[in-house]
Amino acid sequence: MSQPQTTLLGRIALHNNYITEEQLGRSSAEIAPNPGLRIGQAMVKLGYLRESQVQQLLRFQNEINESIAKGQPHTLTIRAPAHQAMDRPRATVASGRPSSHRPPTGSVLVP
């Protein structure tokens, strides 16, 4: 059961412009030889995300899993309540400059 959640967390991070595809690939490669390491921990270890961002993504992942359990579709786009401050993503490329990667237009539904 851990693998789909790992994949989902990475997809959520990528879709919401927290990381780039390259960073997701490197994070996945980091956890392959380390079975106890989770994708969020790898992203923090590699400097792609802060712990607070991973916690935000995990909360959202749990919301998606609850919707799926109820048979309801859910998008991968994070929408925070107006009163709640978001810990905005800071995806960067290898050069250290902010990424030009933009999340796809529209909603991606999780079956």
Q: pLDDT (tens digit, 9 = 90+) per residue, 40-65?
A: 999 999 999 999 999 999 999 999 88
For residues 13 and 61, is the Cβ–Cβ distance under 8 A?
Answer: no
Tokens of 52: 């607070």
| 110 bridge partner residues | 74
Q: Where are the domains of the chain?
A: 2-110
What's residue 95's pLDDT?
45
Residue at 4: amino acid letter: P
Q: How confident is the model at residue 105 (pLDDT cuts 50, 70, 90)?
A: very low
Work out whether the CA dihedral 44, 50, 54, 55 comes out positive or negative.
Answer: positive
Residue 88's pLDDT is 53
Please tell me the distance from the alpha carbon of residue 48 to that of residue 54, in angstroms, as a whole number: 10
For residues 15 and 78, the answer to whether their CB atoms sit within 8 Å is no
